[in-house]
Amino acid sequence: METTEKTRSSIEQHNEFVDDVRAQKKSAEPFFIAATPAEEEAVIRKLDWGILPLVFLLYSFSVLDRSNLGNAKLAGLEEDVDLSGWNYNWLGTMFYIACEFACSSHIQS
């Protein structure tokens, strides 16, 4: 008999706790502090100086790789490595994908 009373008592305590938490959630306002214009400018400036140089370098390397691939094709890469048609196009695509992957993985870290 005592165990059932203890069980009922603990269930009632739990239900009261859950009701209190629900009441607090309903009355609580979302916590948000608006940034000042000076703070927004500082964050944007930091992002610009952190991300834009990296994107510039990666884009420059991508252009350099593609131009070197074009020069190699003119110099006889197709015959030496047996690249033709779609294989050569896929090679150019791999250079682009590698550049995009390097850029996105650096930005996420």
Per-residue tokens: 57: 């370098």
Examine the pLDDT at 86 and tell me if it is beyond 70: yes
Output the average pLDDT for the chain: 77
As a whole number of Å, the end-to-end CA separation of the chain is: 60
Q: Are 91 and 69 in contact (CB under 8 A)?
A: yes
Is the pTM higher than 0.75? The answer reads no
Contacts 24+ apart (CB under 8 A), 3-11: none
Round to whole Å and give the CA distance between 54 and 104: 11
**What is the per-residue pLDDT across 12-53, written as a single tens digit (0 to 9) for each?**
777 787 777 777 666 656 666 778 899 899 989 988 888 888
Round to whole Å and give the CA distance between 78 and 80: 6
Q: Measuring CA to CA, which residue among 7, 16, 96, 19 is closest to residue 58?
A: 96
Domain boundaries, the chain: 37-109
